[in-house]
Each structure stands twice: as structure tokens, then as C-alpha cells.
Amino acid sequence: MSIQENVSLKHLNTLGIDAQARYYAHIDHAQHLRDLLQHKKLQSLPRLILGGGSNVLFLNDFKGTVMHMTVGGIATIREDPAHVWVKAGAGVNWHTLVRYCVEKGYSGIENLSLIPGTVGAAPIQNIGAYGVTLSDTFESLEAMEVDSGSVRTFTTQDCAFGYRDSVFKNACKEPYVILNVTLKLQKQPTFRTTYGELQETLEAMGIQKLSIKAISDAVIHIRQNKLPDPAILGNAGSFFKNPVILQEQFKKLRDTYPNIPGYIQSENQVKIPSAWLIEQCGWKGKRRGDVGVHTQHALILVNYANGTGQEIYQLAQDIQQSVKDTFNIEIVPEVQLVS
């Protein structure tokens, strides 16, 4: 097992923050992880499990060990006449898994095409896009308990999935490292095209007959045209979650802001797009030195070149404060802050 010292993380996080890891190691096998977790020199230091680095903001240099998950492997492990179970290692690129399923004709995750990052991180915030979330096809995952090195299986119920949330952002954040994920996919596709933009794109692409591949292609087309490519402009996708507020507060806000968008979540809860709130506060396109808010997407904070984690964080805090002052709504980061 090779442990490197003082490693730059600039190319290991999509925001392109040039933080340094005191120690750094690849984990391409469960036993490597077990060995590393029991390594005497490292045991008392903080540790960070890193996947594709597309949902983290490094606030400073990381004084402990960055454990970079590269556990590979995709396999079809079981099937019945209607379903197929596919298991993938935590370090597999998420879109590689989507492509594998699309090519084999397995339906369920085509709407999640091109989301950056790894399979192991997908359950952490229950990734979602275009009307689908990971939890829709999730079967189980295996995770290593940090203290004992033993492996535990988590079912859907154990994961407590929510909107960009799971038990791995809460009670199980520190104690467990995800090793692999199993999805239950359909042999006969159910197409989910209710999301307006997806429908329009399929029409514009002249798709006569729906297929898993057509949906995946349409999603890729939308994402490539809409979202900044982190390889060109540092970003971590949506920086904030969309807040959910009470109907009562929503109605009051609508009196002042008749155009405020809201999506009913339950009898008394409404979800508001953070992008709209941030844009109303005048942040869209604002630049401070090398960091800023994307010119087309108020929800995406960007690093133009040499911005620091602290600069992005300060910008995020100022945005949160102005949304709070203007609408009395708290918006919270979707991105994981690492100090």
C-alpha cells in the first residue's frame, strides 16, 4: 500500500481548489481500506473518503489522510424474468455504470446519465435528475465499519433516503465507508419523461420511438448544453439545496413576489428553487476575483482559475445571508464542506 505525502488535490476536485492532503492513498480493494484504517501513524488523524471530488469544497489544506476510492468492477449478479441486479464497486465512475446499463438494455438509471462522480458517492446524497433519484432503483450497498473493519449490508430502509440526503450524510457519515452498490433494474423499460425539458428535447431530437438509449442521449444533450463542464470551468454543480418551506410562508411571499416559483411537496410544504432566490438577490453572474456565480446559473458557484476554498465559502455565506435577509429563507449547501 503506497501512502503519498503532501499531495495537491487540485485535479481531484471539480471546483479545482488547490488544497493539499497531508497523506493520500488509493483504495482499490476493501482490504486496502482495512489496512489503511488500522495504520498506526494515520489512526489519530482526520480522514476523508474521496470519490470524484464533484461534491466537495476544500476550505483549507487537509491535515489528515485522503482515501481515494477507486474500487472497481461492474457485474450482473442476479436476474428474474422482469429484473436484473447490477453490482458496482464504489470507485466506478457513475456514468460508466449508466452506459453499461443502457448498452445492456437495463432500465432505471438512464435519466441519471452524465452525473459526475462515483458509484460509492451516489447514495450519499441520493443523486437525482430529470424526475429520477438513485433510491428508485437502489437495492442495497455494502459498507465497511471504520472501527471494526467489518462489512455491513444496508437496505433501502437502512439508508433513510431523502431529497439529496441519506443516513450517510448524518448518523453513518463517519462510521462507514461505502464499498459497492447494487441496483435493481428492469428488463422491460418504464420511460420517465414527464420532466418538461426532457420531453421537449426528445421532440427536438426527432425521437419517434422511445428507448432507454434515446432518453440517455437526450439527458446527455441537455446536460452538455446547460451545465458548465468542470474540466473547463471549476464547479460542483448545484451549490445549494432547494429549500422546502411551509405553505403559509409561501402564500405570504407570493403576495410580495407574485412570480415566485413553488413546487408542492406535501399538504403544507412547498419547495422553492434556490436559483430563483439567488437570482432575485442579484448574484447571478457576479464575480469576485477568481470566484463567482455562473453567468447562466445562479445555483452554480465557479472557480475561474486560482480561487481558494475560503473565497468560495465566503461567497456562499454572503449569498445565504442575502437570501435570508430578503426572503427569510435559509438555503443550505448541497456541497460537502471539508476543513
Binding site for ligand FAD (CB under 6 A): 14, 48-56, 69, 90, 115-118, 120-122, 124-125, 127-129, 177-178, 227, 230, 235-237, 336
Rounded to whole angstroms, the Cα distance separating 296 from 276 reads 12
Rounded to whole angstroms, the Cα distance separating 298 from 275 reads 5
Has 238 been annotated as catalytic?
Answer: yes
Rounded to whole angstroms, the Cα distance separating 33 from 1 reads 10
Tell me the sheet residues that pair with 181: 88, 141
- Rank residues 118 and 140 by Cβ distance to ligand FAD and give the closer one: 118
Task: Give least dist CB 41 to ligand FAD, A.
Answer: 21
- Rank residues 54 and 65 by Cβ distance to ligand FAD and give the closer one: 54
Return the DSSP state at 171.
T
Rounded to whole angstroms, the Cα distance separating 169 from 176 reads 11
Task: Give least dist CB 336 to ligand FAD, A.
Answer: 4
Task: Give least dist CB 159 to ligand FAD, A.
Answer: 12
Question: Going edge to edge, which strands form the sheet with 287-288?
Answer: 234-235, 301-303, 291-293, 287-288
Task: Give least dist CB 81 to ligand FAD, A.
Answer: 31
Rounded to whole angstroms, the Cα distance separating 81 from 84 reads 8
How many other CB atoms are there within 10 angstroms of residue 305's CB atom? 10
Identified catalytic residue from 47, 164, 166, 311 = 164
What string of DSSP letters covers 234-253? EE-S--BPPPEEEHHHHHHH
- Rank residues 178 and 312 by Cβ distance to ligand FAD and give the closer one: 178
- Rank residues 125 and 140 by Cβ distance to ligand FAD and give the closer one: 125
Task: Give least dist CB 84 to ligand FAD, A.
Answer: 23
Identified catalytic residue from 54, 216, 238, 274 = 238
- Rank residues 48 and 74 by Cβ distance to ligand FAD and give the closer one: 48
Has 248 been annotated as catalytic?
Answer: no
Angle between helices 212-226 and 94-104 (to 10 degrees): 150
Rounded to whole angstroms, the Cα distance separating 53 from 197 reads 28
Has 164 been annotated as catalytic?
Answer: yes
Identified catalytic residue from 110, 142, 311, 334 = 334
For the annotated catalytic residues, the residue numbers are 164, 238, 334
